Structure 1
């Protein structure tokens, strides 16, 4: 990744690397607490999420008094490289109207010491929490239908600029305002997204329980893999629980095979990881 932060981010396919999973860590690792100032004028008010990359914080822009969401990436070299890739993706998405495309609005980035901080509009609640607040009983069809329509619209817009999200799941879908009707959602977190033309089979991306089988088997994949994830999200919206509740990729694939059958031999023969899953079964 060659980056020019003053102008734009250039993309090099040869070094396009994704890391999977989001191990939890304490915000203390970043030495950020409520009241900390990021950059020159973003005051931390609350923590919204965390992962292997760093944290997402609700901040107050002290120059405008507006609340924003800021993704703070750790200064680890691999994570910084991934942040540069995400900036490249977000630059491509600037061609889209974030409201019309149902994707989060990105407002640029800044540095806080060696850390790269990405600025986003502040949204209300992730879809996973929204479902949980309904006691995991599932949503009424009057809500499921518009949510799926908006997510299909988001994926259509991503496809129009050749982007694969690669990590579609309820935690990466935000309700704009839970008190508004009809419900409106936006797709967030492009940390694992990539250009469809730069997909590298064999690199495991996404989240167990939502990623497409071809990704897990090391097969070529494209924007269609996001539609698989959307199907699983649809089931979870309607029932309140995941269709394939798995803690590891092996069990996840077993669920898929038990319900939909084993992939054809010619498909398995072309995969990178298929021996790991099928030899001896």
Structure 2
């Protein structure tokens, strides 16, 4: 079968994985459909309603304006988001081409840089004080990362930043899709183990780089790991060739390049800052955070372990929405929590244990559905062996080091990079399709 080279994602069979809580992505459609108006001409090109092939959402209409003119002043929406139209200028330098996504922090827009003659991604932060403050901290982190990694091989590069109509705007290089988006648009089919090895190595190198700078990311997840290139190849899925499937389902997509970069440093924390609050997205949150022990660098390594399992299986390891169920899932996959961690739980976490000794499960379960979600989970070793054909033993041993309950005993980033999973066959070059 001839390998096909493709530069954009198809938009079918994309969202079949059940999740108890939807997670924000950089390609979410706008919440309100655009008004119907007559197409206009701008710069010799006609713009009307259409589907952006890169992102899968309807374009917004705009009226023709002088090339470097600022758009008319518009009030922010009720949540403090900047209200824009396709074709608007963000300063004379940047012209809005499309919407890439939306999150708690604000919106990300694809823009044309008139000075550098390239596409960039601009994060427009909500005009709310706490988000503006968080954005300034993120800029500080990004500038520090750029100072010590001028080639920008590990983390997304900041190009510029400015304050526009009370919105902090951060200009980034434009990258490809996130690993989560790639999985989702590939019907949640797992990556080959040799690709997981290469992605994991780069992820750990980026985390080690941050930790060397006394920075803790605190929100590592597939959504915050972007492929550098959007290109991918379509190859036969040998796991399905022996099964009955619809036409086209015998194929899966793999990235043309395995190069990745970390993004979203809005929650990144310096070592000396307060570590008493809750961090990390639920599925990737370490046990010490849930139990109220405080946290440090090790919380990033727990997240890395969860991410590696997800890349191998196509599914988040802990698909949960509340703390007791989350702890029960951990015990189901990894074994009982250490007694010394249970006894040190803070007052908010004490309620999850019976007489301060045993997890209050299944007695404290909120529903039968919750109990079934826990009981269906296999042990870590069995889970890996269901999805990994070779290197399973090394991967299991690596994951057991990354997912140790006690953060003091958990692998550090550079220690993990020396693990046989990454070093046993140094002759590997790339990954087989």
Matched with 1:210 is 284
Q: Does residue 194 in structure 1 map to residue 246 in structure 2?
A: no
Paired residue for 2:175, among 87, 107, 123? 123
Matched with 1:275 is 350
- Cα 1:159–1:196 shift into 2, 3 Å: same
Report the more deviating stretch, 145-154 or 62-71: 62-71
Matched with 1:87 is 139
Could you give the per-residue CA deviations for residues 42-99 of structure 1, whole angstroms, max 9, x where no partner exists? 1111122211110111111123321111111011111111112212222221232265
CA distance in 2, matches of 1:138, 1:63: 40
Partner of 1:119, secondary structure, is strand
CA distance in 2, matches of 1:32, 1:250: 42
Partner of 2:279, secondary structure, is coil
CA distance in 1, matches of 2:109, 2:174: 10
CA contact (8 A) 2:82 2:167 kept: no
Q: TM-score, normalised by structure 2?
A: 0.56
Q: TM-score, normalised by structure 1?
A: 0.84
Gaps of 5+ in 1: 1-20
- The structure that is helix-richer by fraction is 1
Superposed CA RMSD in Å reads 2.4
Matched with 1:33 is 85
CA distance in 2, matches of 1:250, 1:99: 44
Matched with 2:228 is 176
Partner of 2:87, secondary structure, is coil
Report the more deviating stretch, 28-37 or 84-93: 28-37
Could you give the per-residue CA deviations for residues 19-39 of structure 1, whole angstroms, max 9, x where no partner exists? xx9799959642123222223
Report the more deviating stretch, 258-267 or 54-63: 258-267
CA contact (8 A) 1:148 1:234 kept: yes
CA contact (8 A) 1:43 1:61 kept: yes
CA contact (8 A) 2:175 2:230 kept: no
CA contact (8 A) 2:106 2:124 kept: yes
CA distance in 2, matches of 1:118, 1:277: 41
For these two proteins, the number of residue pairs brought into alignment is 260
Report the more deviating stretch, 63-72 or 152-161: 63-72
CA distance in 2, matches of 1:271, 1:99: 43
Could you give the per-residue CA deviations for residues 236-281 of structure 1, whole angstroms, max 9, x where no partner exists? 1111111111133442222113322443343234343312433572
Task: Measure how far apart 1:194 and its partner are.
Answer: 0.5
